[in-house]
Amino acid sequence: MNTTKSFIENYNERIDHILTLPSGTHSVNPEKLEQWINAQASDRRRAAAGALAKNIKYITHKDVIASCATLITKMYNDVEKPILETKPFAWYVGGKDKSSYFIALLCYKYVKDQGLLIAERSETI
């Protein structure tokens, strides 16, 4: 289970490296993509996977970081349910091997850099 302590330790260990990862255009490996399409369980799923494959767009780290900033800003300023300074909350993140965990690390950096209220705990979902 991911705890707040392990999340913060992981953040401290990884965020500098994450921010130095290359960001730019990157093409999809066509052989791996074809393998993924063919690995689908039915003709219908293979057709859907093929349609998805035709519309893949590479998103740079810069794009991801900007999206995280936009998302966090909207969350903290949500008119219907804003994150209040007086109310503790939990931040739910995926396992360390999931992309949601990577996104959570980027979002956490933005929250810290902006001086926003930081969750009292994080929990794996």
Token pair for residue 118? Answer: 């930081």
Instruction: Return the pLDDT at 34.
Output: 94
DSSP 18-78: HHTS--S-----HHHHHHHHHTSSSHHHHHHHHHHHHT-----HHHHHHHHHHHHHHHHT-
The pLDDT averaged over each successive group of 10 residues in the chain (125 residues) is 73 83 76 94 94 86 90 84 68 78 88 80 55
Instruction: Return the pLDDT at 37.
Output: 95
Instruction: Return the pLDDT at 2.
Output: 56
Q: Please indicate, yes or no, whether the overall pTM of this predicted structure exceeds 0.85.
A: no
Q: Using alpha carbons, select from 103, 24, 102 the residue that is nearest to residue 68.
A: 103
Listed by start position, the domains of the chain span: 1-23+60-125, 25-58
